[in-house]
């Protein structure tokens, strides 16, 4: 099997949410797997001198909010813009990494549930309690996860994950690499599909 795709995402990124709903199935159609890498856009933006779309020049910010919903409609994916946005996602990212170390499939289910909690159900996933509820609904031991979220080891693991992404050139999310070729944004789905079909263009 060919090398996996690498998918860099932040749980507070609407476009990451949209791409997360499609990337695994798309890769599977071409006998590929996807490695998911949680990042923190706040740190990435600090490194790149950027900021969230909705905090930029007002016309661009309003356009971005409009485009989040329009892009979701285009892809047929449910979307409700959260009341609190943007928001920190350290706890969700740490939970993903902790779960992934034991069960990749469970971590992936958690990621989908966390994205949908924020962008469909308008739940505040910056709260530890919300993250624990989402994981608990999937059968995860909440007490064990609560302890893990405060452990220095998992905090360091996330820090290293973000640093590695920045070192690789990741400047935002979603960011996908295929055999060394980078694609930024959910609107690159057609190009990603063509690249997988043809081996490059």
Q: What is the pTM of this model?
A: 0.94
Angle at alpha carbon of residue 61, lines to 58 and 67, rounded to 5°: 140
Residues 78/82/87/90 CA torsion (nearest 10 deg): -40
Give the pLDDT band (50/70/90) at residue 60.
confident
The pLDDT, as a whole number, for residue 2 is 86
CA distances (Å), origin 6, targets 91, 117, 195: 21, 24, 14
d(CA 110, CA 31): 23
Q: Per-residue pLDDT for 54 more than 80? A: no
Instruction: Kindly give, in sequence order, each residue whose CB lies less than 8 Å from that of residue 39, ignoring residues fewer than 6 positions away.
Output: 8, 9, 10, 93, 161, 162, 165, 170, 173
Instruction: Kindly give, in sequence order, each residue whose CB lies less than 8 Å from that of residue 65, ignoring residues fewer than 6 positions away.
Output: 54, 81
Instruction: Kindly give, in sequence order, each residue whose CB lies less than 8 Å from that of residue 8, ignoring residues fewer than 6 positions away.
Output: 37, 39, 165, 170, 173, 174, 175, 176
Q: What is the mean pLDDT of residues 162-184?
A: 96
Q: Identify whether the C-beta of residue 99 lies closer than 8 Å to the C-beta of residue 114.
A: no
d(CA 17, CA 111): 9
d(CA 151, CA 18): 31
Give the pLDDT band (50/70/90) at residue 58.
confident
The pLDDT, as a whole number, for residue 116 is 98
**What pLDDT, in 10s, does the model give residues 80-102?**
999 999 999 999 999 999 999 99
């Amino acid at each position: 099997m060919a090398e996996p795709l690498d998918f860099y995402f932040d749980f507070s990124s609407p476009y990451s949410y949209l791409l997360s709903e499609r990337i695994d199935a798309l890769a599977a159609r071409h006998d590929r797997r996807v490695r998911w890498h949680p990042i923190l856009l706040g740190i990435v933006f600090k490194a790149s001198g950027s900021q969230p779309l909705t905090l930029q020049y007002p016309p661009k910010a309003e356009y971005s909010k409009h485009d989040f919903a329009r892009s979701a409609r285009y892809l047929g994916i449910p979307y409700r813009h959260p009341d609190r946005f943007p928001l920190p996602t350290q706890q969700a990212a740490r939970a993903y990494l902790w779960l992934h170390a034991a069960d990749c499939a469970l971590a992936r289910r958690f990621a989908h549930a966390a994205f949908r909690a924020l962008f469909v159900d308008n739940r505040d996933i910056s709260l530890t309690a919300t993250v624990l509820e989402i994981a608990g609904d999937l059968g995860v031991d909440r007490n064990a996860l609560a302890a893990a979220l405060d452990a220095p080891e998992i905090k360091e693991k996330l820090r290293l994950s973000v640093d590695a992404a920045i070192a690789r050139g990741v400047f935002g999310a979603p960011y996908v690499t295929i055999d060394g070729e980078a694609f930024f944004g959910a609107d690159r789905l057609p190009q990603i599909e063509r690249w997988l079909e043809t081996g490059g263009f």
